[in-house]
């Protein structure tokens, strides 16, 4: 068992939702090793998400490391005096690099062949057929550090410590009404999940009482081009697609009351910020809510009652979503 590490690195170089579900590892490690430095290796675009965890001591951007030649990369890692390197997202080039830097303890799942050659600790567990949530599965990588507890989802949400959020710019804060419920609709997922039909989001914006609700459509500029012309022209409905960076989006989500989306990054951010997160999911494994629902105390899941063609939009009745929203927010 690894004892008294001075510096632990968590490597997760993929998307926003995956990073959000990895943040609880930082809280778990800080709780067990309060004096240990925790660094996080991630993508540049997920840096605002990583920064929001108050327990992360240092953030490294993989894109910046890639600009260095291999020897410079090795020298960088050696200079950091790392005891433990945890490959949460398996990536062969990073696994090889950690080995060449002669980091003493290198942890990676046993289900990647290249970890046989690059990792010193290979916990054996399977993700594909497991009944555990993704965030719970991530904790299995901590067993070489003597951490074998089975964590509940509420515990993991708390351990993510998603509290270090930037202030919301005044021009965005002024759009939010203290007299109304502020609802975010995030229709697209950049291909990361099966989506709900766009007309459902449009209908929600059209039907909700403008005296009680403000509606905000979010997404990238590219996504906004797909549906901007269909957004109802009402004084309580706002198009914010392409108008916020990720720091601002996180802060705006935290300041709102609820968000509706399929299984995509902003849904996970909503869960961690503590607002109502209405997640739209298929029931098929391995993309079902049991594996991928957001962490948070106000998460509400809407699933298909009848399994539809996986190439088609999610088959979730609009009335179910409207009823869930109006009853809870």
The tens digit of pLDDT for each residue in 206-263 reads 999 999 999 999 999 999 999 999 999 999 999 999 999 999 999 999 999 999 999 9
319: tokens are 């009335």
The reported pLDDT for the residue numbered 127 is 79
Which DSSP state fits 121? B
> Which element (helix H / strand E) includes 9?
strand 7-11
Computed on alpha carbons and rounded to an integer, the radius of gyration of the chain in Å comes to: 21
The reported pLDDT for the residue numbered 130 is 84
Question: Which of 7-16, 48-57, 166-175, 306-315 is least confident?
Answer: 306-315
The reported pLDDT for the residue numbered 110 is 92
Q: pLDDT confidence of 31, banded at 50, 70, 90?
A: very high
Percent of the chain with pLDDT over 90: 91
What are residue 280's DSSP bridge partners? 262, 302
The reported pLDDT for the residue numbered 305 is 77
Residue 71, SS3 per DSSP: helix
Q: pLDDT confidence of 311, banded at 50, 70, 90?
A: confident
The reported pLDDT for the residue numbered 4 is 93
Phi, psi of 211 (to 5 degrees): -80, -15
Q: pLDDT confidence of 136, banded at 50, 70, 90?
A: very high
Q: How far is CA 138 from its chain centroid? A: 13
57-116: pLDDT as tens digits: 999 999 999 999 999 999 999 999 999 999 999 999 999 999 999 999 999 999 899 999
292-325 residues labelled b (16+ CB within 10 A) or e (exposed):
bbbbbebbbbbbbeeebeeeebbbbeeeebeebb
pTM of the model as a whole: 0.96
The reported pLDDT for the residue numbered 240 is 98
- Which residues are within 8 A (CB) of 53 and not within 5 positions of it... i.e. 6 or more apart? 23, 26, 27, 40, 160, 161, 162, 164
Distance, CA of 48 to CA of 63 (rounded, Å)? 15
Helix, strand, coil distribution of the chain in percent, nearest 5:
40, 15, 45
Q: pLDDT confidence of 191, banded at 50, 70, 90?
A: confident
Taken in order of first residue, the domains within the chain and their CATH numbers are 7-159 (3.40.50.2000), 171-328 (3.40.50.2000)
- Which residues are within 8 A (CB) of 29 and not within 5 positions of it... i.e. 6 or more apart? 8, 36, 38, 55, 142, 145, 147
What are residue 258's DSSP bridge partners? 183, 276
166: tokens are 């930037």
The reported pLDDT for the residue numbered 67 is 98
pLDDT above 80 (res 308) = no
Nearest to 11 by CA among 113, 118, 117, 116: 118
Phi, psi of 45 (to 5 degrees): -75, -15
Burial class (CB in 10 A: 0-12, 13-18, 19+), 72: exposed
Q: pLDDT confidence of 274, banded at 50, 70, 90?
A: very high
Distance, CA of 279 to CA of 222 (rounded, Å)? 22
The reported pLDDT for the residue numbered 3 is 93
Angle, in degrees to the nearest 10, between helices 265-273 and 246-255: 50
Question: Which of 12-21, 97-106, 277-286 is least confident?
Answer: 277-286
The reported pLDDT for the residue numbered 51 is 98
pLDDT above 80 (res 309) = no
């Amino acid at each position: 068992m690894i004892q008294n590490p001075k510096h632990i690195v968590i490597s997760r170089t993929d998307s926003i939702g995956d990073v959000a579900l990895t943040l609880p590892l930082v809280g778990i490690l800080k709780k067990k090793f309060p004096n240990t430095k925790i660094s996080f290796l991630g993508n540049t675009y997920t840096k605002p998400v990583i920064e929001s965890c108050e327990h992360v001591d240092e953030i490294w951007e993989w894109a910046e490391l890639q600009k260095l030649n291999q020897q410079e990369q090795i020298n960088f890692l050696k200079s950091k005096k790392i005891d433990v390197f945890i490959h949460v997202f398996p990536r062969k080039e990073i696994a090889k690099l950690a080995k060449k830097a002669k980091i003493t303890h290198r942890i990676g799942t046993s289900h990647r062949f290249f970890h046989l050659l690059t990792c010193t600790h290979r916990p054996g567990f399977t993700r594909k057929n497991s009944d555990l949530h993704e965030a719970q599965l991530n904790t299995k990588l901590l067993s070489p550090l003597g951490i074998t507890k089975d964590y509940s989802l509420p515990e993991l949400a708390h351990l993510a410590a998603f509290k270090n959020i930037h202030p919301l710019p005044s021009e965005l804060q002024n759009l939010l009404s203290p007299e109304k419920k502020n609802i975010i609709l995030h229709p697209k997922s950049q291909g990361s999940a099966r989506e709900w039909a766009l007309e459902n989001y449009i209908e929600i914006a059209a039907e909700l009482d403008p005296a009680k609700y403000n509606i905000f459509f979010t997404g990238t500029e590219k996504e906004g081009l797909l549906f901007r012309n269909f957004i109802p022209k009402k004084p309580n409905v706002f198009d914010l697609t392409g108008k916020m960076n990720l720091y601002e989006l996180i802060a705006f989500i935290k300041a709102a009351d609820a968000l509706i989306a399929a299984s995509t990054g902003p849904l996970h951010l909503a869960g961690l910020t503590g607002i109502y997160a209405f997640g739209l999911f298929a029931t098929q494994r391995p993309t079902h809510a049991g594996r991928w629902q957001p962490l948070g105390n106000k998460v509400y899941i809407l699933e298909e009652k009848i399994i539809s063609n996986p190439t088609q939009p999610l088959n979730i009745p609009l009335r179910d979503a409207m009823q869930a929203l109006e009853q809870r927010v």
